[in-house]
């Protein structure tokens, strides 16, 4: 059986950044396994601009952002296999993969970085009633068709869900010759970034209907239209608000789900809120030497943060390999808990002995909060308290913990982050 | 001039075609859709019922028990997924016990083997996820689950291999009696035939009523279902029924042969014979009622929902046989549940009837077996590598959720009566049927379809007809 | 005095901006948290511009289209003129990131460039 120090599963933004970081931290024996025919992952179909403001201080398109990393991977001579599907990973880190040339093969890794990304929630997950005609796409599928294949999925479009991909596709399809009639969002707030609402909807006079959902799908062969209706705060239809929109296309941008079937198969423990692995400060899962980063860990809105996270995963995996695969859980292990107003935190546990000078705790809030504070509690004591004008579930937030501060609390058991009103 | 034209390519029509293809006779199946298995046969519970439910002496009872017996051998001959998993009808209190007893006795009368009534403990031992309120259950070990697409397609392919012709996208508009035989006026022209088998499912009454004064009436009875992720697939290991009601066998919870969990169906009489739409109330009912049979139904795991129409005949039985006032016109009508279970026996019955009537001779070269699409996941590592070396397309994963390779998709398209659409590929290979519901694989499957069928991408359809997936090129550029 | 309400798009903060105007002249920008917000506010009410990203068809390449962008933002009013000019363009592979696909889009003086490498088939 072939073996590598580290196998990175996925050659998207997370996998690329993780591999580069591994190399920069002294690991030579790296293999990236990518299921698509090129590196870059979902960035290849995100041809709009706005990537890289944090990382490169300039605005790049998705393929350009990916290229900056792909070029480094090439220059560093990191080995990768394309068109290669990972079928399973054993708890002993034997990876079974498959491609056309080599067939089915097994690889032994000392450490594994999970970077498989996420998939879109489908119509089925929403259980939207009606017929099942052609013309219903998840936004990302439509994005691939338009941006990679050059085909327009339809001419009259309704979009359900105001996730970023849906907003981006509203503009893309408008520019390519379709009429986007409306974007409906079930929640009373948008799930996407504000800049996308402005640049993708407002610019083209596409109405955004908040607290609206699709009630019915009409059309037996090709979609003929959808009925939208307004819902109350409990999600129940307000009678009399039903409105029919004729359209041949319905795009769904209703959420992303980390793709963790392989992780579950190998026994990685999952966080039910994120649908991603539970990780410690090193982004390491319950299985020693198995790390996770990017959208497989929790769904991000900015690729820059994916790259940062992956860089950290790479660095920590390198340290693990250099320590000859021994994990030390003996010291103080602090639990991080999402308090009032938070959905989750990543990571969930913290070993002060293993952290850098600074550690970013990333989280999402449950609701839209205005003029509030993000407070960090060390057990019962509030140690940080930062004012925010606005917090929204669509935008990932972070709190930075310093090692120096944590060293002052040698008995600390839990850290809770919560949202507090004035 | 055909000897026999079979109207309808569902399980009944395909089973008749396959059984009749044993004989020296010129047969044609005509189907209004682009593929076989497009009506009732594609959207049902996929259960091979034990046979205790239908009234003793009815065709439903007789053919169900006979069909169930034959299903194992048929699955071996034609290589489609079938598992004899058993079924449980559960009752929730002592008052319902007599009804269970009644089912048991009817089952014995119908000739169902190995039935028994289990007490609460025995039932829960078998199915620990059943509701705590379970009081007793009727256990039918002979019941099973089948892939309805696999069954239907296997029957059709084998019939085709044995010389049966198939015409798709051909809808019968009118049936005229000739001096000898019939003339079918269709959307693709006029055809003459000596005998007609009316296996038109939800439309069988219309065809019957074109040739007979003794009218029959089929009511589309809609059943809505939810399909759950494979992660929930082992929630129960047998088909769980609640006690049957007036409109059917109630909402069941069952594993599928492919490892998902299926819940449903509702039962709602509708006007529209194409009314396969799901409804908010229906889906709600499915989840609520299924939740009464098992505890903590993982309803979050729903990956898709669908609806099918049962061809319900007003006297609640199958109508199979020559129409009294229309010689040579054989009805195969009112085939609702237990139609899937019965189809091997339906085919046999119709074939024997026509054999005797037409004095048909058996072929010497009838091929009783058919090989299904190879599923590489069933192979060991070495075998699989031999396969990939021989045909690298089997090393190219297309559908990640169901682990379907390019090799399987190409096979589905290029085999006899091959797939012509995304749904055709899906029913044959399961590509696109998994948890992402074709989000990732749809563009790639379309490319393979376009390449193999030598068509352009925008002509590829979801399910034939006007169901094109794409509107054209970006910027409305010419193709 | 006239005021216009905008949302700053420079970063994910999305600051709500209020631009006070006197006729055509910007008097003050409020609500921004950084300098870029002020610049955006001033520009957005006087001379709004946008990047266009799209695809054009590729001949003899390993992919059938290549993604492109305007090298810089173009006047907002020129977006659809620009898209019209991109219609029907076919580029022969190989293509490198940064290759000029179309010069001077819709008379803006701004070129359209490739944002992805496409190798020859």
Domain ranges of chain A: 1-120+256-327, 122-254, 329-422
Lowest average pLDDT, out of A52-61, A249-258, B277-286, C62-71, goes to A52-61
- At A377-416, the pLDDT tens digits run 999 999 999 999 888 888 899 999 999 999 999 999 999 9
- At A240-285, the pLDDT tens digits run 999 999 999 999 999 999 999 999 999 999 999 999 999 999 999 9
C65 neighbourhood in chain A, CB within 8 Å: 147-150
Buried b (16+ CB within 10 A) or exposed e, C42-72: bebbeeebbbbbbbbbbeebebbbbbbbbee
**CB-nearest partner of C50 from A150, A193, A203:** A203
Question: Among all residues of chain C, which has the CA nearest to that of B473?
Answer: C57
pLDDT above 70 (res C84): yes
- At B140-149, the pLDDT tens digits run 999 999 999 9
Domain ranges of chain B: 2-41+149-217+316-358, 83-144+219-311, 376-471
Looking at CATH, the fold of the domain delimited by B376-471 is given as Arc Repressor Mutant, subunit A (1.10.10)
Min CA distance, B434 vs chain C (Å)?
A: 27
Residue C18 binned pLDDT confidence (cut-offs 50, 70, 90): very high
**Across A345-367, average pLDDT:** 95
**Across B235-262, average pLDDT:** 91
Q: Does C43 touch chain A (CB under 8 A)?
A: no
Average pLDDT, chain B: 96
CB A387 within 8 A of CB A373: yes
Q: Which CATH number fits domain A122-254: 3.30.428.10, 3.50.50.60, 3.40.50.2300, 3.20.20.330?
A: 3.50.50.60
Q: Does B391 touch chain A (CB under 8 A)?
A: no
CB contact under 8 A, B477 and C55: no
Residue C12 binned pLDDT confidence (cut-offs 50, 70, 90): low
Min CA distance, C87 vs chain B (Å)?
A: 6
pTM: 0.95
**ipTM attached to this prediction:** 0.94
Q: What is the DSSP letter of B294?
A: B
Return the pLDDT at A235. Answer: 86
**Across A331-354, average pLDDT:** 94
Helix (H) or strand (E) holding B77: helix B59-78
Domain B83-144+219-311 has CATH 3.30.9.10: yes
A83 neighbourhood in chain B, CB within 8 Å: 396
The domains found in chain C, sorted by start residue, are: 2-47 (no CATH), 53-114 (3.10.530.10)
pLDDT above 90 (res A136): yes
Up-side HSE of residue A209: CA atoms within 13 Å toward CB? 20
Residue A332 binned pLDDT confidence (cut-offs 50, 70, 90): confident
pLDDT above 70 (res B247): no
pLDDT above 80 (res B246): no
Same fold, A1-120+256-327 and A122-254: yes
B283 neighbourhood in chain A, CB within 8 Å: 127, 129
Is B390 part of the annotated catalytic residue set? no
Q: Does C14 touch chain A (CB under 8 A)?
A: yes
Catalytic one among B49, B208, B258, B312?
B49
CB contact under 8 A, C10 and A195: yes
pLDDT above 80 (res B245): no
Superfamily covering domain A1-120+256-327: FAD/NAD(P)-binding domain (3.50.50.60)
Lowest average pLDDT, out of A353-357, A390-394, B100-104, goes to A390-394
**Across B55-60, average pLDDT:** 97
- At B427-466, the pLDDT tens digits run 999 999 999 999 999 999 999 999 999 999 999 999 999 9
Instruction: Give percent above pLDDT 70 in chain B.
Output: 99
Min CA distance, A350 vs chain B (Å)?
A: 31
**List of chains touching B (3+ CB pairs within 8 A):** A, C
Considering only residues 152 to 211 of chain B, which have any Cβ-Cβ distance to chain A shorter than 8 Å? none
Q: Does A221 touch chain B (CB under 8 A)?
A: yes
Min CA distance, C59 vs chain B (Å)?
A: 14
Question: Among all residues of chain A, which has the CA nearest to that of B381?
Answer: A104
Return the pLDDT at A193. Answer: 82
**Across A92-119, average pLDDT:** 98
Closest to B64 in 3D by CA, of B337, B253, B388: B337
Superfamily covering domain B2-41+149-217+316-358: FAD/NAD(P)-binding domain (3.50.50.60)
CB contact under 8 A, B477 and C65: no
Return the pLDDT at A53. Answer: 85
- At B296-317, the pLDDT tens digits run 999 989 999 999 999 999 999 9
């Amino acid at each position: 059986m072939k073996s590598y120090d580290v196998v990175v599963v996925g050659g998207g933004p997370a996998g690329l950044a993780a591999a580069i970081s591994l190399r920069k931290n002294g690991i030579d024996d790296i293999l990236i396994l990518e299921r698509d025919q090129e590196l870059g992952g979902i960035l290849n179909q995100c041809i709009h601009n706005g990537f890289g403001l944090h990382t490169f201080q300039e605005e790049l398109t998705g393929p350009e952002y990916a290229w900056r990393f792909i070029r480094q991977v090439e220059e560093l001579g990191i080995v990768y296999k394309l068109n290669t599907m990972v079928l399973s990973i054993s708890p002993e880190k034997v990876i079974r993969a498959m491609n056309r040339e080599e067939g089915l093969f097994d690889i032994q890794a000392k450490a594994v970085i999970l970077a498989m990304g996420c998939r879109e929630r489908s119509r089925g997950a929403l259980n939207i009633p009606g017929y099942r005609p052609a013309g219903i796409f998840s936004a990302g599928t439509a994005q691939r068709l338009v941006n990679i294949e050059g085909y327009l999925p339809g001419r009259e479009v309704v979009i359900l869900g105001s996730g970023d991909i849906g907003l981006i596709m509203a503009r893309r399809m408008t520019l390519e010759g379709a009429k986007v009639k409306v974007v409906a969002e079930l929640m009373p707030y948008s799930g996407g970034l504000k800049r996308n609402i402005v640049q993708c909807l407002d610019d083209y006079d596409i109405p955004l209907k908040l607290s609206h959902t699709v009630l019915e799908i009409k059309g037996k062969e090709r979609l003929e239209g959808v009925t939208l209706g307004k819902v109350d705060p409990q999600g129940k239809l307000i009678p009399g608000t039903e409105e029919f929109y004729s359209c041949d296309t319905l795009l769904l941008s209703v959420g992303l789900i980390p793709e963790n079937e392989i992780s579950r198969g190998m026994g990685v423990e999952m966080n039910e809120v994120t649908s991603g692995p539970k990780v410690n400060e090193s982004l390491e899962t319950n299985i020693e030497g198995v790390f996770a980063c990017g959208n497989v860990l929790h769904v991000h809105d900015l690729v820059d943060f994916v790259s940062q996270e992956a860089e950290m995963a790479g660095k920590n995996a390198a340290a693990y390999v250099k320590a000859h695969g021994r994990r030390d859980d003996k010291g103080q292990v602090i639990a991080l808990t999402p308090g009032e107003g938070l959905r989750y935190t990543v990571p969930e546990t913290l070993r002060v002995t293993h952290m850098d000078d600074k550690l970013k705790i990333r989280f999402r809030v449950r609701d839209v909060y205005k003029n509030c504070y993000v407070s960090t509690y060390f057990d019962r004591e509030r140690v940080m308290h930062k004012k925010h004008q606005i917090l929204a579930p669509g935008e990932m937030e972070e709190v930075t913990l310093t090692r120096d501060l944590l060293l002052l609390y040698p008995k600390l058991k839990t850290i809770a982050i919560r949202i507090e009103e004035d | 001039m055909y000897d026999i034209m079979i109207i309808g390519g569902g399980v009944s029509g395909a089973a008749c075609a396959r059984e009749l293809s044993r004989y020296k006779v010129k047969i044609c199946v005509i189907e209004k859709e682009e593929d076989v298995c497009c009506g009732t046969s594609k959207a049902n519970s996929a259960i091979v019922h034990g046979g205790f439910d239908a009234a003793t002496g009815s065709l439903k009872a007789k053919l169900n028990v006979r069909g169930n017996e034959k299903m194992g051998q048929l699955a071996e001959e034609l290589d489609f997924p079938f598992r004899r998993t058993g079924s449980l009808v559960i009752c929730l209190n002592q008052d319902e016990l007599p009804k269970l007893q009644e089912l048991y006795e009817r089952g014995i009368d119908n000739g169902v083997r190995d039935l028994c009534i289990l007490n609460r403990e025995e039932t829960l031992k078998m199915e620990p996820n059943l509701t705590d309120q379970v009081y007793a259950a009727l256990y039918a070990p002979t019941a099973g689950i089948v892939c309805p697409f696999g069954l239907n397609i296997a029957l059709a392919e084998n019939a085709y291999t044995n010389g049966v012709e198939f015409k798709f996208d051909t809808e019968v508009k009118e049936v005229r009696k000739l001096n000898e035989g019939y003339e079918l006026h269709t959307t693709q022209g006029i055809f003459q035939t000596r005998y007609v088998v009316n296996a038109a499912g939800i439309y069988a009454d219309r065809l019957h009523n074109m040739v007979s004064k003794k009218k029959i009436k089929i009511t589309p009875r809609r059943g809505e279902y939810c399909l759950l992720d494979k992660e929930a697939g082992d929630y129960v290991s047998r088909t769980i029924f609640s006690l049957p009601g007036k409109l059917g066998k109630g909402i069941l919870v069952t594993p599928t042969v492919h490892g998902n969990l299926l819940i449903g169906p509702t039962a709602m009489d509708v006007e529209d014979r194409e009314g396969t739409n799901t409804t908010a109330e229906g889906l709600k009912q499915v989840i609520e009622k299924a939740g009464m049979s098992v505890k903590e139904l993982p309803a979050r795991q729903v990956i898709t929902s669908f609806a099918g129409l049962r061809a319900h005949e007003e006297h609640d039985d199958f109508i199979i046989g020559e129409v009294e006032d229309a010689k040579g016109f054989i009805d195969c009508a009112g085939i609702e549940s237990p139609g899937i279970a019965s189809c091997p026996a339906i085919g046999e019955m119709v074939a024997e009837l026509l054999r005797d009537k037409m004095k048909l001779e058996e072929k010497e070269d009838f091929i009783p077996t058919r090989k299904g699409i190879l599923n590489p996941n069933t192979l060991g590592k070495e075998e699989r590598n031999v396969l990939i070396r021989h045909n690298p397309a089997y090393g190219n994963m297309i559908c990640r959720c169901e682990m379907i390779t390019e090799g399987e998709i190409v096979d589905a398209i290029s085999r006899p009566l091959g797939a012509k659409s995304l749904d055709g590929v899906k029913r044959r290979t399961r590509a696109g049927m998994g948890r992402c519901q074709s989000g990732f694989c749809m563009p790639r499957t379309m490319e393979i379809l376009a390449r193999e069928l030598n068509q352009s991408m925008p002509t590829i359809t979801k399910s034939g007809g006007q169901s094109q997936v794409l509107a054209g090129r970006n910027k409305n550029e010419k193709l | 005095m006239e005021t216009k309400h905008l949302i700053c798009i420079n970063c994910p903060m999305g600051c709500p901006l209020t631009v006070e105007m006197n006729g055509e002249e910007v008097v003050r920008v409020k609500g921004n948290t950084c300098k870029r917000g002020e610049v955006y506010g001033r520009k957005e009410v006087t001379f709004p511009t946008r990047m266009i990203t799209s695809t054009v068809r590729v001949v003899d390449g390993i992919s059938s289209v290549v993604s492109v962008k305007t090298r810089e933002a173009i006047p907002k009013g020129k977006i659809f003129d620009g898209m019209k000019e991109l219609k029907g363009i076919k580029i022969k592979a190989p293509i490198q990131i940064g290759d000029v696909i179309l010069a001077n889009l819709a008379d803006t003086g701004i070129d359209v460039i490739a944002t992805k490498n496409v190798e020859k088939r």
